[in-house]
Amino acid sequence: VSPPFDTARLDSLLNQAEVDAVLATSAHNVRYLLGGYQFFFFAHFQAIGVSRYLPCVGYQRDRPENTFYIGNPMESSSLALGPLWVGRTDTSSWTTVASAAATAAAFRDLGLEQATIAVERAFLPDDARAVLERELPAARFVEALPLLSELRAIKRPDELALLRSVADEIVAAMREVIESAGSGLTTREIAERVRVAETRRGLVSEYCLAAAGPSPLRTPSDTPWLPGHSLSLDSGASLGGYVGDLARMGCLGEPTPRMVEVLAEVDCVQRAARAAVSRGRTGHDVYAAALAAQGGCSDAARMSFVAHGMGVVSHEVPYLTDERTVPYPAVHRHRPFEPGMVLSIETELVDSEVGFVKLEDTVAVTEDGSEAFGDANRDWIVAAG
């Protein structure tokens, strides 16, 4: 079986960072390096017994054939059904400490006792790190996050297909729920219906923010959706580990002229931003276009705009967010977009009469422009009042 990701790209990243090997311990990076495999038993719940499930993937620079996987005894039969591409699989671990000990043994077997090993410090449990340090006292441990995030920046066709599907299904689920909701359901009930609709469509439903106008509160609550009111749905779900995150608007009965106006303002900013997404352009261009469009809106002061990369994590490379809204470094604001990068683009407007108004779109950079995923139903979705 050939490696499911671009090992030359990883080798190059490791080389530039002067790193000999990388150890993935986050669910998303383990799954990425294994080409989509995740042991279904621990897909949601990790805690068990006196510890937790800690799958590990180790990768040695320039030696993809030496890649190893550490898992749990219960997953042996899953692996027998579809063997992994890696060179070595050890499913003996029931605890974080056992996973770390097996990882250290695998690195030792590869002669990496004195290597520089990149680890995911936010996803490496303290007790596992202690075992690695004890068992590999001459190794040097550095942060793996920039390397693995960069590795995932350009999505392959199979990844784009999953991102397209999850976006399509989230929007279809939101439309289905809006059109069938009827009057008087609370935003909590509506969010629960979105969860069920996404699940029925084969997705893993992650969350649903729901606001019923005029209240701007997006936490699902007892707020009822009433005739003539707006409904803002913003839902995240995943398919094969790939995240969709889109926002759409519903109205119980025909939208008022003011409702039409505010959604048009939001859409105007979205379109301006989306038009700036293409190969060679930058996050700076996207923000500049969006903010210029926003400046031309009569409700500019109550609007806000965000764009960020997305994939297996809901904010990933390219990191574009403004630190005023989400405090991640906007380190890629001036980096040219490349085909295969995927962005989430979001504009919101809080109106005292209409409530919370938002569109969020998924846009992939293509060879000759861009492609939006799940791009249906961006206008008011009208439910029978």
Interacting residues with a second copy (CB under 8 A): 26-28, 40-45, 47-52, 54, 77-78, 81, 94-97, 119, 121-130, 145, 149, 192, 195-196, 199-200, 202, 204-207, 209, 217-221, 236, 238, 243, 313-316, 319, 321, 326-329
In a 13 Å sphere around the CA of 371, the CA atoms on its Cβ side amount to 15
User: In the complex, what is the shortest distance from the CB of residue 99 to a second copy, in angstroms, rounded to a whole number?
Assistant: 10
Question: Of the two residues 243 and 364, which places its CB atom closer to a second copy in the complex?
Answer: 243
User: In the complex, what is the shortest distance from the CB of residue 257 to a second copy, in angstroms, rounded to a whole number?
Assistant: 29
- The verdict on whether omega for the bond into residue 214 sits within 30 degrees of 0, i.e. cis, is yes
Question: Of the two residues 324 and 367, which places its CB atom closer to a second copy in the complex?
Answer: 324
User: In the complex, what is the shortest distance from the CB of residue 78 to a second copy, in angstroms, rounded to a whole number?
Assistant: 5
Nearest to 28 by CA among 318, 240, 236: 240
6 burial class (0-12, 13-18, 19+ CB within 10 angstroms)? middle
Question: Of the two residues 195 and 274, which places its CB atom closer to a second copy in the complex?
Answer: 195
User: In the complex, what is the shortest distance from the CB of residue 270 to a second copy, in angstroms, rounded to a whole number?
Assistant: 21
Phi, psi for 23 (deg, rounded to 5): -120, 120
Reading the block at residue 288, the tokens are: 């500049």
Q: How far is CA 30 from the centre of its chain?
A: 15
309 contacts: CB under 8 Å, gap ≥ 6: 153, 315, 316, 317, 318, 319, 320, 332, 341, 342, 343, 344
User: In the complex, what is the shortest distance from the CB of residue 340 to a second copy, in angstroms, rounded to a whole number?
Assistant: 20
Question: Of the two residues 10 and 119, which places its CB atom closer to a second copy in the complex?
Answer: 119
Question: Of the two residues 257 and 329, which places its CB atom closer to a second copy in the complex?
Answer: 329
Q: How many residues are present in the chain?
A: 385
CA angle 23, 72, 126 (to 5 degrees): 45
User: In the complex, what is the shortest distance from the CB of residue 48 to a second copy, in angstroms, rounded to a whole number?
Assistant: 5
Question: Of the two residues 323 and 368, which places its CB atom closer to a second copy in the complex?
Answer: 323
Question: Of the two residues 48 and 291, which places its CB atom closer to a second copy in the complex?
Answer: 48
Q: How far is CA 334 from the centre of its chain?
A: 22
CA angle 36, 37, 43 (to 5 degrees): 105
User: In the complex, what is the shortest distance from the CB of residue 4 to a second copy, in angstroms, rounded to a whole number?
Assistant: 20
